[in-house]
Structure 1
Amino acid sequence: MTLIHQFMPDCALREVDRVPTAASPEKAWAAVRAMDLHDVPFIRWLFALRLLPERILARLRGRPVRRSPHMRIDDIAAPGNGFLALAEAPGSEKVIGAIGRFWRPRIDFVRVTPGSFTAFSEPGFGKLAWNIRVEPREGGGAWLGVELRVTATDAASWRRFRRYWWLIGRFSRLIRRSELRRIQRQLDRERSRGNAAPCDRTPLSVSL
């Protein structure tokens, strides 16, 4: 059983993307743990666009504007960002979660702990969990994967989230798939220098 399933066994939306690489699981894990979304200009632009209302509101209220030179997994789950590192199985999976009103211009996050995340059920909020995962491939190499699970604590909140996700979900999928492809190319370039043939690049995706 995956770690993400332990934290969100039931969900209203599930999206899975994964790509193969000829690299070893150890090298693949090191690559996904080191990935930095700020390395890709269009991803920086998308995040800046999503955070624009919050930054404008912060300036108007005289509050400091959050800026970070990096957007690695550990940076996303850093204190004060609203996202929480739920669990990690070193070498294979790390899970990040958040609870909040994601559909608002400035997201109202709920402070929870990994131990209270699953049971949280106060009406009015959305819940999401996502992971990065590396699995060995039969015959050698590894699978790189990202899984997203989303739900809400009541029907009205789910309707709000679905309207929000109609637009934001497109960009979320674009970011996840672009990053997987980028890491895949990086790993296979390194592998090809050792005269190994690159593996099939067809991604596997499922939305439920």
Structure 2
Amino acid sequence: MSADSTFDPVGGALLLDSALPEFGFSRLECLALAAAPPVAYEAARELDLLTLDAPLLNAAIWARGLPDRLRGRPIPTPPSMRVADLFDAPGGAWEDQPWVALGESPGRELVFGAVGKPWQASIEWRRVEPEEFASFDEVGWAKMAAAFVVHPYGIRRSLLTYEARTACTDPESTARFGHYWTLVSAGVGVVLRGTLRAVREAAEEHARDARSDVPPDR
């Protein structure tokens, strides 16, 4: 299936459209938050992905440490992998990971992606730098891009979307990913929704704390 760029009611193309405008597979989940857009955005940015059950991320971490495991060397585990660190400190916990920051619109959108072969029993990853991601077309790979986008919704509320897109670089890879996607698409939806709930919990807690700090009118 092919898809057009996501319609954005706020106006203008998404950064995700620049990173991966044409794609064959996608999943989008949305959740309403009882928190203003700036609070929702900050909660998404501060999310620690190591606290979530995210199979592709966990597989990437495991695969990157495989050479050392085979040599019997200890594999250090980073204390955290915050979304913010991917954008602010790429030389830290994210340095040896295939995931890269693809763009940020402060207060509105965070985009990141990776290139790999997720249909393999042991996923093979290919580190592609952000400036090369959009044009990368080497045969045999799947390009995966994801984005958090915050939309205003009424008064002191937000809608947060989490979209994951995949485009493959040749027909054979597309067919292989298609078989894989048939098996995992529902599970990816579960992961996306769980991630959104984690962001909502953090954002709404922050909003409640902010309201409790406001002194009552006299």
The whole-number CA distance in structure 2 between the counterparts of 1:45 and 1:16 is 17
CA spacing shift, 1:56–1:111, aligned 2, 3 Å = closer
Matched, 1:101 2:117: yes
Given that 2:30 and 2:196 are in contact with CA atoms closer than 8 Å, whether structure 1 keeps it comes out as: yes
RMSD: 2.9
Report the equivalent of 1:198: none
The correspondence for 2:30, drawn from 18, 26, 40, is 18
Report the equivalent of 1:199: none
The correspondence for 1:60, drawn from 70, 78, 86, is 70
The whole-number CA distance in structure 2 between the counterparts of 1:29 and 1:110 is 29
Structure 1 alignment gaps of length 5 or more: 196-208
TM-score between the two structures when normalised by the length of structure 2: 0.74
Matched, 1:152 2:168: yes
Matched, 1:38 2:46: no
Q: Secondary structure at the match of 2:26?
A: strand
TM-score between the two structures when normalised by the length of structure 1: 0.77
Matched, 1:72 2:82: yes
Aligned pairs, how many?
193
Could you say which structure has the greater relative contact order, defined with CA pairs below 8 angstroms and 6 or more residues apart?
1
Report the equivalent of 1:113: 129
What's the offset of the Cα at 1:129?
Answer: 0.4
Q: Secondary structure at the match of 1:91?
A: coil
Given that 2:99 and 2:127 are in contact with CA atoms closer than 8 Å, whether structure 1 keeps it comes out as: no
Given that 2:100 and 2:113 are in contact with CA atoms closer than 8 Å, whether structure 1 keeps it comes out as: yes
CA spacing shift, 1:66–1:164, aligned 2, 3 Å = farther
CA spacing shift, 1:60–1:126, aligned 2, 3 Å = same
Q: Which shifted more, 4-13 or 66-75?
A: 66-75
Identity %: 30
